[in-house]
C-alpha cells in the first residue's frame, strides 16, 4: 500500500508542478512572443506565433527604448534598488542583533513594532508619507532609499532575529575576550554567519523594490522615472497605447531581476527556514 502511494505521488506531484509552472510561465511567454510582432497584429491575434507577416524583429525594442528613455529609467532603478537593498541588509542586521542580544523589555517592544509594521497596509500611510517626504526633501533618488529602508525593515528584522537566536553567545564572548569591540564582533563574527539570511533578505527586497510602482510614483514622480513608471508612460491618452513597444519594454524590465533571482534562488529556502524556524 505504501509503495502504491509513493508511486502515485511520484507521478502526480511532478505532473502537477509541471502544469503549475506552465500556468505561471505562460503570461511571460505570451509577452515575449508578442514583443516581436507588429502592433496591430498583437490585438488581432495575441496567441498566434510570429510569422513572416507579423514578425518585426527588434523594432519594438528600439521603439520602446527611445520612447521611454529606457537607459535613464534603468539607471535610476539600479541606483535605487542597489542602495536600498544594501542599506536594508546592513542596518536591519545590526538592528536585529542588538534587539536579540540586549533582550530588555524596550528591545522586545521595538522588535514587536517591527513585526507589527509588516501587517500595516501601505495604503494607510502613503499620503502622509508622501507629504512628509516632500517636506523633508526626500523626494529624490537618494531620499527614497531611506523610505525603502523603513518599509523593508519589518520583514528583514524578523528574519534576521530568528537566525541570530540560533547563534551561540559563546562565539561572541570569545571574540570579546580576544579584544574585539562590538562593531568588530558584528562585522567579523556575526555578519559572516548571517550570509544565508542576508542573501534571502537581499533577494526578497530587490524583487520588491525593482518592481515597485506606487512608492516611486508618489514620492519622485516623473522627474526621476524608474522602469515601472517609464513603462506606464507608454499608455497614451484615451486608452491608446503602443502594444509592441510596451511588450518589448516589459521584457527588458524583467530580465535583470529574473537573472538576479536565478543566480541566488538556492539561498531563498535555506535563508527563510533559518530566519523563521530557528530559535
| pLDDT band for position 92 (cuts 50, 70, 90) | very high
Backbone angles phi, psi at 235, to 5 degrees: -80, 115
SS3 235: strand
Residue 279: per-residue pLDDT:
43
| pLDDT band for position 12 (cuts 50, 70, 90) | confident
The fraction of the chain above a pLDDT of 70, given in percent, is 90
Residue 6: per-residue pLDDT:
67
Residue 278: per-residue pLDDT:
46
| pLDDT band for position 148 (cuts 50, 70, 90) | very high
What are the distances in angstroms from CA 245 to CA 9, 64, 93?
A: 44, 4, 41
Place of cell 502537477: 16
| pLDDT band for position 243 (cuts 50, 70, 90) | confident
Tell whether the model's pLDDT for residue 270 goes beyond 70. Answer: no
SS3 228: helix
Element (H, E) at 82: helix 70-102
Angle at the Cα of 42 (from 34 to 49), degrees rounded to 5?
Answer: 50
Of the candidates 228, 200, 191, 233, the residue with the CA atom closest to the CA atom of residue 74: 228
From its phi and psi, is residue 169 left (phi > 0), alpha (psi between -120 and 50) or beta? alpha
> What average pLDDT does the segment 172-183 reach?
85
> What average pLDDT does the segment 125-141 reach?
88
Any residues with CB less than 8 A from the CB of 251 and at least 6 apart, and which? 31, 32, 35, 61
User: Could you tell me if 65 and 71 are in contact, meaning their C-beta atoms sit under 8 angstroms apart?
Assistant: yes
User: Could you tell me if 172 and 193 are in contact, meaning their C-beta atoms sit under 8 angstroms apart?
Assistant: no
Any residues with CB less than 8 A from the CB of 126 and at least 6 apart, and which? 214, 215, 218
Of the candidates 277, 245, 221, the residue with the CA atom closest to the CA atom of residue 31: 245
Residue 240: per-residue pLDDT:
63
Tell whether the model's pLDDT for residue 25 goes beyond 70. Answer: yes
> What average pLDDT does the segment 96-112 reach?
90
**46-60, pLDDT tens digit by residue?**
888 888 888 888 888
What are the distances in angstroms from CA 41 to CA 9, 26, 46, 248?
A: 43, 19, 7, 14
User: Could you tell me if 211 and 257 are in contact, meaning their C-beta atoms sit under 8 angstroms apart?
Assistant: yes
Angle at the Cα of 130 (from 124 to 134), degrees rounded to 5?
Answer: 160
Buried b (16+ CB within 10 A) or exposed e, 39-56: bebbeeeeeeebeeebeb
Place of cell 511532478: 14
**Separation between Cα atoms, residue 257 and residue 127, nearest integer Å:** 28
Please give the DSSP secondary-structure letter assigned to residue 48. S
User: Could you tell me if 226 and 80 are in contact, meaning their C-beta atoms sit under 8 angstroms apart?
Assistant: yes
**182-193, pLDDT tens digit by residue?**
888 899 889 988
Structural domains of the chain in order of their starting residue, each with its CATH number: 4-11+15-58 (no CATH), 60-276 (1.10.3720.10)
**191-221, pLDDT tens digit by residue?**
988 888 898 899 889 999 999 998 998 898 7
User: Could you tell me if 219 and 143 are in contact, meaning their C-beta atoms sit under 8 angstroms apart?
Assistant: yes
> What average pLDDT does the segment 164-186 reach?
86
Tell whether the model's pLDDT for residue 34 goes beyond 50. Answer: yes
Amino acid at each position: 500500500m505504501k509503495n502504491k502511494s509513493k508511486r502515485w505521488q511520484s507521478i502526480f506531484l511532478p505532473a502537477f508542478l509541471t502544469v503549475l509552472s506552465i500556468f505561471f510561465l505562460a503570461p511571460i511567454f505570451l509577452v515575449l512572443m508578442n514583443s516581436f510582432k507588429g502592433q496591430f497584429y498583437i490585438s488581432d491575434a495575441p496567441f498566434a506565433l510570429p510569422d513572416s507577416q507579423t514578425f518585426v524583429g527588434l523594432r519594438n525594442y528600439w521603439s520602446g527604448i527611445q520612447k521611454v528613455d529606457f537607459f535613464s529609467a534603468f539607471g535610476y532603478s539600479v541606483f535605487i534598488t542597489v542602495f536600498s537593498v544594501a542599506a536594508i541588509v546592513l542596518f536591519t542586521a545590526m538592528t536585529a542583533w542588538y534587539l536579540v542580544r540586549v533582550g530588555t523589555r524596550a528591545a522586545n517592544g521595538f522588535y514587536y513594532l517591527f513585526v507589527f509594521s509588516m501587517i500595516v497596509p501601505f495604503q494607510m500611510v502613503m499620503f502622509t508619507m508622501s507629504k512628509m517626504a516632500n517636506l523633508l526633501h526626500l523626494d529624490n533618488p537618494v531620499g527614497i532609499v531611506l523610505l525603502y529602508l523603513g518599509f523593508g525593515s519589518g520583514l528583514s528584522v524578523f528574519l534576521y532575529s530568528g537566525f541570530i537566536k540560533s547563534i551561540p553567545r559563546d562565539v561572541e564572548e570569545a571574540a570579546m575576550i580576544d579584544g574585539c569591540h562590538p562593531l568588530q564582533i558584528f562585522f567579523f563574527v556575526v555578519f559572516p554567519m548571517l550570509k544565508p539570511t542576508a542573501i534571502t533578505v537581499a533577494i526578497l527586497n530587490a524583487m520588491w523594490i525593482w518592481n515597485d510602482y506606487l512608492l516611486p510614483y508618489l514620492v519622485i514622480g516623473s522627474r526621476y522615472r524608474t522602469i515601472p513608471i517609464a513603462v506606464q508612460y507608454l499608455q497614451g491618452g484615451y486608452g491608446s497605447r503602443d502594444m509592441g513597444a510596451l511588450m518589448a519594454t516589459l521584457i527588458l524590465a524583467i530580465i535583470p531581476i529574473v537573472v538576479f533571482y536565478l543566480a541566488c534562488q538556492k539561498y531563498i529556502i535555506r535563508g527563510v527556514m533559518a530566519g523563521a524556524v530557528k530559535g
